[in-house]
Amino acid sequence: MKCPTCGADAFVYDTRDVQLNTGNPDDIIEDVKGSHCLACGEVIVDMSEADSFMRKVSALEAAAAHNH
């Protein structure tokens, strides 16, 4: 499998924290299960994990909006 972001073919299936590409280093989604690219950090998740990931992103966005 090739990474859709960087083209590397070095992945590890694991549960890791994922830093969002928002410019804020505190925007981290914890415990994301999937194939993580060892070169650039991109993660490929299955549909069940994608639902969980999107819920976590929405909660993070709601918290950020509430703090502004």
Query: Considering the domain 11-66 in this protein, what is its CATH number?
Result: 3.10.20.860
Give the per-residue pLDDT at 6: 96
pLDDT for res 68: 64
For residue 66, what is the enclosing H or E element? helix 47-66
pLDDT tens-place string over residues 2-31: 999 999 999 999 999 999 887 888 889 999
The answer to whether residues 31 and 43 touch, using CB atoms and an 8 Å cutoff, is no
**Tens-place pLDDT, residues 25-65:** 888 999 999 999 999 999 999 998 999 999 999 998 888 77
> Residue 34's pLDDT is what?
96
- 55 half-sphere exposure, CB direction, 13 A CA radius: 8
Task: Give the gyration radius of the chain's Cα atoms.
Answer: 13
- With 80 as the cut, is the pLDDT of residue 67 above it? no
Domain ranges of the chain: 11-66
